[in-house]
Amino acid sequence: MTKLFRIEQNVQTGEITQIDLTESEIAELHQQDEMAKIEKAKLLELEQQKTALLAKLGITADEAKLLLGGTN
């Protein structure tokens, strides 16, 4: 497995240090990755629902915006 690390740079000296991540930091990264995947899946589902509704109504997204008074 690839070793995960972070890089820190001392701005006064310019020294760059590579620091290995701890197990808890790695676990937190994995948790954040899973949460991002869940959020992405939710957004994709919402987009699919919007597309299906527009198709059911027989209108485009621009026409729906006009109906709702939006100009963006």
pLDDT, residue 42, reads: 98
pLDDT, residue 2, reads: 84
Show me where the domains of the chain are located. Answer: 5-67
CA separation for the pair 32, 39 (Å, rounded)? 10
Residues 5-33 have pLDDT tens digits of 999 999 999 999 999 999 999 999 999 99
Provide the whole-model pTM.
0.66
Buried-exposed string 19-38: b where 16+ CB fall within 10 A, e elsewhere: eeeeeeeeeeeeeeeeeeee
In contact, 19 and 6? CB cutoff 8 Å: yes
Residues 30-53 have pLDDT tens digits of 999 999 999 999 999 999 999 999
Q: How far is CA 7 from CA 1, 40, 58, in A?
A: 19, 28, 53
